[in-house]
Structure 1
Amino acid sequence: ADPNIQDKETYSQDLRAELNELYTRQSQLAPLAEAVLQGQITQVLAEIGLTSGGQPIPNVWYHSTRLPWALIVSPRERIEQTANISLNMDLTVDEHAILESNIDKSLNTSTLVVPIGGVGVYPTMVARTTNFEWLLNTIAHEWIHNYLMFAPLGLMYTENPETRTINETTASIAGDEIGRLVLEKFYPERISASPTTLQLVSASFDIPDPDDIPRPVFDFREQMYITRVNADLLLAEGKIDEAEAYMEERRQVFLRNGYLLRKINQAYFAFHGAYADAPGGAAGEDPIGPAVRQLREQSESLTDFVNTIRWITTLDELQEELNQ
């Protein structure tokens, strides 16, 4: 955004008109496109055995649409999601900030309004996107949430943080695998190329110009992991103010590296830390993510993994299953 533009409505009028035309076109194509993707995901689910008589329960049914914002609330003294409240999708960032500030002052909490990728209602709601692979993964992710509702892991989603993390991590792992299978079966031409192998670079013996020295790529997940671990340590020592100051300092580091994070606080980690399908990141040292990933590795198939973990709701139960 250009702060020098005073009349933003007039300046963006043509762009907004074009965007509205594209949304209209999208709405016209959506029923057919959604039906095609639903059918393709259903076919893959049948092939891997996550169906009953070839029929997924429930049927794969989703709609791409604008999604509400989510207001996440955590205590200040620890990282734990105690509330997730849907907000009007038309609220502005300034209104988010005012709402967060008012709640924090009134309840002495840590809050954050975050965007979400999908909602596991039925039919599921999935955010609009141009990233086709992400779309497939998210449709499958939200269907897994629906599937888990027929077992304790879904029914007890809101009972405690452990259950929520197991549930979200399972949905992320399974959703990504199912999405990849759909991509390979129906859209192989859209599979991303393998990442380029990095080559070592030798510096000359002369004193180099600092601007010419290759710098390591900023690893978002690693740096967020470090931030979470250190924040947890400070909070465990009762140093709430120090932890919050540290998280703000770290936010500035992310900002300087191109990640426009409005806040990093307890609520940020309470929300993002539940998605522990990959090492590192906002989950920090939470043992649930590694345990879920280990169970997936030990399982003979994705179907075996999902049908085993759907009956598990705590870390103790998960570790007991791993030790069998």
Structure 2
Amino acid sequence: MVRILFTVQEVLQRTIFLLLLGLVLSRSDGLFTDDYDRVRAFVRRDEFEYVQWVLNALATKNTQAALDAPRYLSLEDQKQAVFRYLDLVARIDGLNREVATIYADPAVKDPETASREKRTELEAAQAEEARLGPLAESILQAQVSTVLASLGLTTGGQPLPPVLYRVTPLPYALIVSPRERIEQEANISLVPGLSLKERIAIEEKVARSLNKSTLVVGIGGVGVYPTMVQSTSDLNWLTEVVAHEWTHNYLTLRPLGMLYDASPEMRTINETTASIAGKEIGRAVVARFYPEKLPPEEVPAPASPGPEKPATPPSFDFRKEMRITRLQAEALLAEGKIEEAEAYMEARRKVFWEHGYLIRKLNQAYFAFYGAYNDTPGGGAAGEDPVGPAVQALRQKSASLAEFLNTIARVTSFEQLQQMVK
């Protein structure tokens, strides 16, 4: 009986995987405008290949499902396994920093010899991570699924699609916007591991050749299936991103997700919805299974990657100042003052830098990317964009997260969403 149930689940996962893969690829095909293809021509050598990654990840997930290791562990043992994994990730991050410091120290004449002990420790820790990581993923997948069931977001107790994620080095995203306005014209995934020098070279090549605003950004996750999630030792951030990317999978099977690239407004609706759901679901997972790790509700972890904040933020309202920056930049662009707008954004970038916000480049592409994550009142990088507030209003109007997701999943245009919140 157990084998029969597993076979049904395996078939379900494979069927959903094929459907999701087809939808994602067909959605991407819709992006191939002349501008998009012109951008891709500059980065084909560095473009990330999703299909092979997904096939490999699915094979790994099938092996994990066959073992079903979490079923043989108590809830306390599951918790401790996740904690050991997160501690291991933190140790690996620390060892990587120590090795990098040794190689960068001009006083160290033979960095290879000086770092040998640390590199040996690092290799051992990475081997342990490779062993423990799949178990931690399986446990967190099951815990997120349990919370989804408690929130009414399952069919027959099973999330559709099933929660599947893989911690992996993430691709970078090349964001391209026109210089004369803020609008994402292209978002092209680039291979992980590109150096800062290589990323800047790509930005400058595309910007110079096509007269565009460009930015290569790091991301926290990708909503393919299984989803891609960045390695982290932060449990709250991890559960939030897993839930955020699962929400994209959920929406991809429904009208809202299928129309992700239909317009900038539909993209913002999708991303804001996933951000809202990711925060609520992720927090519920931590509250249920790891209550001692639950942060104060007023300081949730971000669902999308952004500029690093100082450990103790100064008296500087980042969201307010970023909103002011976008509004003024848009006003200048509307008057056709492109160079003046770009000079203003660079001057403002220096202000943010002086207050501890390490923003490498602040331009039209920056706002085109970060402005789509508009789940918090106040606007921030979204400025006065009305789309995010409309999504927030629908969530406030909905009695539950399930009602909100089931309602917004049917949205096919911003105008329809506006009618819903009247």
Whether TM-score is above 0.5 comes out as yes
Most deviating of 141-150 and 5-14: 5-14
Q: Amino acid of the residue matched to residue 260 of structure 2?
A: Y
- 1:3-50 CA-to-partner distances (Å, cap 9, x unmatched) read 873889927845555444433322211111011100011011111111
- 1:83-111 CA-to-partner distances (Å, cap 9, x unmatched) read 11111112100111111111111000000
RMSD: 2.2
User: Aligned pair in 2 of structure 1 residues 20, 252: CA closer, same or farther (>3 Å)?
Assistant: farther
Is 1:241 aligned with 2:344? no
TM-score normalized with structure 2 length: 0.69
How many Å apart are 1:195 and its aligned residue? Answer: 7.0
- Preserved contact between residue 236 and residue 283 of structure 2 (Cα < 8 Å): yes
Q: Distance in 2 between matches of 1:159 and 1:172?
A: 19
Q: Amino acid of the residue matched to residue 324 of structure 2?
A: I
User: Aligned pair in 2 of structure 1 residues 173, 9: CA closer, same or farther (>3 Å)?
Assistant: farther
User: Aligned pair in 2 of structure 1 residues 64, 243: CA closer, same or farther (>3 Å)?
Assistant: same
Q: Distance in 2 between matches of 1:154 and 1:221?
A: 27
TM-score normalized with structure 1 length: 0.89
2:235 maps to what in 1?
132
1:289-308 → structure 2 map (5 Å cutoff)? 289-308=388-407
Most deviating of 154-163 and 166-175: 154-163
Percentage of identical aligned residues? 57
Query: Which of 166, 173, 182 is residue 276 of structure 2 equivalent to?
Result: 173
Structure 1: stretches of 5+ with no match in the other structure: 197-214
User: Aligned pair in 2 of structure 1 residues 17, 90: CA closer, same or farther (>3 Å)?
Assistant: farther
Is 1:40 aligned with 2:133? no
SS at match of 1:218: coil
Is 1:271 aligned with 2:369? yes
Q: Amino acid of the residue matched to residue 417 of structure 2?
A: L
Q: Amino acid of the residue matched to residue 252 of structure 1?
A: K
SS at match of 2:399: coil
User: Aligned pair in 2 of structure 1 residues 4, 22: CA closer, same or farther (>3 Å)?
Assistant: closer
2:323 maps to what in 1?
225
Structure 2: stretches of 5+ with no match in the other structure: 1-99, 300-312
Aligned residues: 305
SS at match of 2:188: strand
- Preserved contact between residue 206 and residue 212 of structure 2 (Cα < 8 Å): yes
Is 1:5 aligned with 2:103? no
- RCO (CA 8 Å, sep 6+): is it higher in 1 or 2? 1
How many Å apart are 1:297 and its aligned residue? Answer: 0.2
SS at match of 1:5: coil
How many Å apart are 1:162 and its aligned residue? Answer: 0.5
Q: Distance in 2 between matches of 1:247 and 1:166?
A: 26
Q: Amino acid of the residue matched to residue 381 of structure 2?
A: A
Q: Amino acid of the residue matched to residue 270 of structure 1?
A: A
Q: Distance in 1 between matches of 2:109 and 2:414?
A: 51
